[in-house]
Amino acid sequence: MADYAFRTLEDRQKIEKLWEDGRTPKEISASLDKSMAVIYAELTRGQDGTRLPDRRLRYSAELAQRRVQASLE
């Protein structure tokens, strides 16, 4: 698997959980052994326009997955 892509919804759900738990992109990167650029790209891909209680933009694993699927069609 290339470092720039997540293949499964489960991978994206891990990011979503860590992000909602208040982890930083650096912490998520270390936890998943992915570059920070990959994490930032993924967080951007899954932004749904709403905010978490700590005011960060919410990340939706399902939305990110749908966007990837749409780009492959």
Contacts (Cβ under 8 Å, ≥6 apart) of 29:
35, 36, 38, 39
What share of the chain in percent tops pLDDT 90?
A: 79
What is the extent of the structural domain holding 42? Answer: 9-72
Q: Would you say 64 and 42 are in contact if contact means Cβ atoms under 8 Å apart?
A: yes
Q: Is residue 39 part of a domain?
A: yes
6 has a pLDDT exceeding 80 = no
Q: Is residue 4 part of a domain?
A: no
What share of the chain in percent tops pLDDT 70?
A: 92
CA atoms within 13 A on the CB side of 57: 13
Counting the structural domains of the chain, the total is: 1
Tokens of 44: 């951007």
Tokens of 57: 């933009």
Average pLDDT, the chain: 91
d(CA 8, CA 56): 24
